[in-house]
Every structure is written in C-alpha cells, then in structure tokens.
Amino acid sequence: MFKFVNMMMDIGVTRQLDFQDLVPLPCELMPSLCHTALLDCWKAEMNKHYSDPSLFRAMYHAYGWPYLRLGLLKVLIPFFIETR
C-alpha cells in the first residue's frame, strides 16, 4: 500500500529528494483547483453572510468534513502528547 513511500525513503537515504522523486498529486488536490474551490466558496459565504462571513464555513463547503477532521486532529494532537 505504501510502496511509493518506501521507494522515496530509499532514495532519500542516498541523496536529497527532488521534485521528480515525489508522487504526483491527484488532480483534485492541485493547488490551483483547491484555491479556486475555496475562493468560490468564500465568495458565496460573503454573499450569504455579508455581515458575518466565516472562513471555517467556506473551508467546510470547499473541502468537506475529511479535511476539517484532519485539521482538527492536527490542532488537538499536541494536547495529548507529553513534552519533556
């Protein structure tokens, strides 16, 4: 399943990775498409809630619950990890 990660790790042990070594992103994760989706949802949010627009709502509509779950997890993990 993560064979491509092992290949990148093997290359990374011998030399620094360059862009050609990285796995290409799926089309729906290309930065330009993500930007367009968020911008469209932000404009809709501004039109719908002109006096109180929410970036959180716009992100939810643009990327959905899976991305927000990952973001929330990233924010909460440091509270559960003990630092010394």
Q: What is the pLDDT of residues 7-63, one digit of tens each?
A: 888 888 999 988 888 878 788 888 999 999 999 999 999 999 989 999 989 999 998
33 CB contacts (<8 Å, ≥6 apart)?
Answer: 27
Give the per-residue pLDDT at 83: 67
Give the per-residue pLDDT at 38: 95
Do 75 and 68 contact (CB within 8 A), yes or no?
no
The model's pLDDT over 64-84, given as tens digits with 9 standing for 90+, comes to 888 878 888 888 888 888 766
pTM attached to this predicted model: 0.60
